[in-house]
Amino acid sequence: MISQALSDTLARWLDHQRALKGASDNTIAAYQRDLLSFLAFMSRHHGEAQGLGPIARITTSDMRAWMAHERGRGVAARSLARSLSAVKSFYRWLAEREGFEPTAVLATRAPRFRAKLPRPLAEDAAQKMLDQVELQAADPWIAARDAAVVTLLYGCGLRISEALGLTGRDTPLGQTLRIRGKGGKERLVPTLPTARDAVAAYSAACPHDLAPDAPLFRGVRGGALSARAIQKVTEQARLQLGLPATATPHALRHSFATHLLNAGGDLRAIQELLGHASLSTTQAYTAVDTARLMEVYDRAHPRSGG
């Protein structure tokens, strides 16, 4: 149980995350689940409803008890680290407003976990995937649609949600494409001629009216194309080509970044193209090793004098 005052405060913090931090709806929902679970544990742990007073007095021992409880019920280290991050963010914001000392919470260390590195496809495998996708559908317009979506993932580095979020207004594609990514952040992505041609071919073949405000990519009956449909298309293609299970739509985005870097692309520029807030995220996406990363850094920031 949590008090009404604390419930209202949590709602204000979530509004703050949404409005000022640009957090997505999915992120807000995850924050809310994490915080409510944390506060429910503290309520049981202390045997009393949690209000603004009790949570300001949470100790290091309380935090250890919560983390031990979460691990005990099978919460993975990565998920617990995410929950702890949400708790710390909330406490930092709340402490500034309520004037209490949040050190016990902020000093809590996240559990260690091994980050899963994405596995990009080799260049020839990525090209074979594009070719195979176009051959699979019996209906020519659906084949053109699938080819256009997959080309945007690999040729422009889009997330599948970003490709499927395009509307009729975005066609015909120009030299650049304005993409609204995670957290509502906008970025400009250059479009290759192959991507422009693929989308043009689909637009010409599509039997549905591609109105400016309507989804660009359509399902068979004319509704918005689902991400699951594209996942099935790429799954079928990888099985035909004998590619590993890691050859997913998202792997094509990884491949875009890795192949750009291998061709001499600048890591910072690739970060901008992908819409990453952190360079370390881009490093993971591109499967770049430490030596390659330092080579890029040395070119960008040459050391002076002995």
119: phi then psi, degrees, rounded to nearest 5? -115, 100
Catalytic entry in 128, 196, 254, 276: 276
d(CA 30, CA 34): 6
159 is catalytic: yes
The helix, strand and coil proportions of the chain, stated in percent and rounded to the nearest 5, come to 65, 5, 30
d(CA 243, CA 131): 14
Catalytic entry in 78, 82, 250, 292: 250
DSSP secondary-structure letter at 256? H
Three-state SS across 113-137?
CCCCCCCCCCHHHHHHHHHHHHHHC
d(CA 288, CA 291): 8
Report angle CA 228, 129, 261 to the nearest 5 degrees. 100
Catalytic entry in 45, 119, 182, 292: 182
DSSP secondary-structure letter at 220? T
- Going along the chain, which residue ranges are E strands? 176-180, 186-190
218 is catalytic: no
Catalytic entry in 285, 297, 299, 301: 285
285 is catalytic: yes
Q: Within 13 Å of residue 146, how many CA atoms lie on the same side as its CB?
A: 25
Catalytic entry in 159, 218, 254, 259: 159
18 is catalytic: no
45 is catalytic: no
Catalytic entry in 145, 253, 254, 259: 253
Cα Rg of the chain (Å, integer): 23
Q: Are the beta carbons of 164 and 234 closer than 8 angstroms?
A: no
187 is catalytic: no
User: What residues act catalytically?
Assistant: 159, 182, 250, 253, 276, 285
